[in-house]
A and B are shown apart, each in its own frame.
Chain A
Amino acid sequence: MTAHHVTAALAQSIPVLEPATPAILVTPRPHDAVKGVTLNIRGLRKAFGSNQVLRGVDLRIPPGQFVAIVGRSGCGKSTLLRLIAGLDAYDGGSLEFEQDPASASVNVRVMFQEPRLLPWARVLSNVEVGLGAARKEHDASARAKAALAEVGLTDKVAQWPGVLSGGQKQRVALARALVSNPQVLAFDEPLGALDALTRITMQQLLERVWRDQGFTAILVTHDVAEAIALADRVIVLEEGRISLDLAIDLPRPRQRGSAEIAALEGEILDKLLG
């Protein structure tokens, strides 16, 4: 709780955080940028041994929506994300992407809490990894450079990951996830290991690329304030089921620490704390 208040206070008192990220204004996103894929989850179940982690999750996410999933640790939010990303197999229910044409495969990317960069590859080739099979094509390095420009790291192209700061590493990981132009981008507490100020700049960056690129964003976080600041919709997961599905109808960019945000935060925290 206190940490959130400190974060909010910092955000208000230090308005000059912008230079850390490229000074590109947040503009309302044109609707044609939305990549048409609907995620449809019905009765999703997953167990690890005798431990039922997901006990029937129903969730429909329309194209281009920014959904945040919050909950106590162990509530199954990361598991849900891993199932959506195809990293693990589910035990029951269904998880489908609906799109036209239905036959095309859906490009889902994940960004983890750890940057997971290859320490022995320079920043540029780390981003090229994100191109998948297209990384051998002649324009691979141009596309990787464009993705790095998007996250404001043009000057770090030739660096080893080892010399970057935590925030910079996560931006490289974001560029790697973005470079293949994904339709769905899943974030597993990507800012969890960052300090308060870096978190805020990274949140602004995430919001900006989401608006620019129009992918469906699914963010797992334990930080309720972060969820409200970024998402169109906050889902609370409790004991493997959705216990609250709340639309956040606030204009963007959102004012940190405003009364509406505080009210929503109180509502969600009440639910979480029982």
Chain B
Amino acid sequence: MSIIRAIIIFQFINLCFASEISKSVYLNTGSKLAVLEFSGEGLSEPLRLFLTEEFRKTIRDLKVYRVQNKGISNQFSILNPNKKDYWSCLSEGCAIDLGKKLNVNYIIAGKIEQNGDDEFLINGRLFSVDLETMVNEFSINSSGASDSLLLDMKKMAYDVSGLPIPDNLSVESDTSQVAVSKKIIRKRIWPQLPPIPSKIKALMMSTALPGSGQIWAKRKFHGYTFMSIEAILGVSTLIAYYQYDIAWGGFQETYQSYQIETDPHNLLELRPQIIQYVSDTKKYNLFMKNVRNIGALIWVINMAHAYIVAPNDDFFDGDYYFDFEYKPDANKIQFNYRF
């Protein structure tokens, strides 16, 4: 009887541990969500950005997902600098790849299309990055005034979160619309710089400041190494230049005295001083030239390195200005450029 009792207790303990293990696995799945900016056809950019942000904010308020904030756009600029091409990320492979780069569990991509004068079609897809599949696709046809778009976006946020849509949503829409108009006017003040491909941006940064392109491309070790080397060379050059300047000043002063001096005793003392100053200026000048050559070489290597290590723009549809291409049939590396 005691043996049976012991077996039952043992099985019960096992069952308890088993349930805890399965629970921890479930928790590891995570609920981090990134909302990509909705693309818009026939829709102004400020309105599109505002709708996306409101959508993002509504999901965050519902607290079903841990939504990445707007600041994640900074990472987009590295991973995907051409923001206008987000809509192309509606495909599963693209969205999941981007989700992995952003280190989230879920990612939402969508677009808003204007079908008529007052008719909009909102499409969205929810992808699970962990499961590498699309888990939900939603579509809302919004007709009537454009302020209903905001309402529909909020409804969609409830839909995505798996919660019932509350009846009071229509009350908030008017107030939100006033805020939209103000934001649009304010945002139009800022000048928009043309987007630059990541590789070119890294190249330009490293051209201006060695290592900065690598640091920007998250290759901090290489970046700081290049920066340090150039800094050391720069400081060495400065010290050498300081010494050179002293020697050069001494040379000019002594040589001027030599040219106007008439006393043989003084002239005989000035002569070796001049020769010494000249020797020093030549020595420091040669050192500076060598450092300059080495520095220039490292600078060029740093520029090429920044260009190579910078992330590829998966969504940039333009040609690069130059690149290296391996041709297996000819078994050689070809340098292509397009200026």
Please determine whether chains A and B interact with each other in the same assembly. Answer: no
**Which residues of A approach B to under 8 Å, CB–CB?**
none
